[in-house]
Amino acid sequence: MAATSCISSIRAPAPVRLATRRSGLRGVSRVTPQKKPRGRATLAVASESKTFDDDWLKADTTVHLLTLFGWSIPSGIAIKAYGDTSLLAAFADSIGSNLANFPQGPGLDDKFWLYLITWHIGLFSTMLLGQIGWQGRKQGYFK
């Protein structure tokens, strides 16, 4: 008898009311509690309000165009290492000669891979440094 009175005296917790809010996607809704939590949970709510910046790259079309020209023009200057031709001309010539043998791709010992990797590493390095410089100046880091 004592066991049943003990069990009957235990109360179930009060149900938490949840409000649903529709998002922009069709059929998707977010469930959020109406009451603010107390104590340690308040810290979790405060930290969730500071989300990661979705536009962390802050890409700018001007930077992309300037760095493309900023790498294409110097890579078009002839140097002796490429047989008195430029990196860009050697890369384009290599692309053309490999397209002549279209169904078959370039071999592993083909110079195409050297030109491809060298040209793209230079391009992406220029783009990275250009983006850092552009955003740094725009945000006032270099004053």
The model's confidence at residue 6, banded by pLDDT at 50, 70 and 90, is low
Count up the domains in the chain and report the number. Answer: 1
Backbone torsions φ then ψ of 71, nearest 5 degrees:
-100, -35
pTM greater than 0.85 (yes/no): no
Q: What is the pLDDT of residues 113-138, one digit of tens each?
A: 999 999 999 999 999 999 999 988 88
Q: What is the pLDDT of residues 17-67, one digit of tens each?
A: 555 555 555 655 566 556 655 555 555 555 556 676 777 778 888 999 999
Parent domain of 126: 61-138
DSSP calls for 85-99: B-HHHHHHHHHHHHH
Q: Give domain status of residue 85, yes or no.
A: yes
Q: Pick the residue with more confidence: 103 or 60? A: 103
pLDDT of residue 92: 95
Q: Give domain status of residue 2, yes or no.
A: no
pLDDT of residue 81: 85
Q: Give domain status of residue 44, yes or no.
A: no
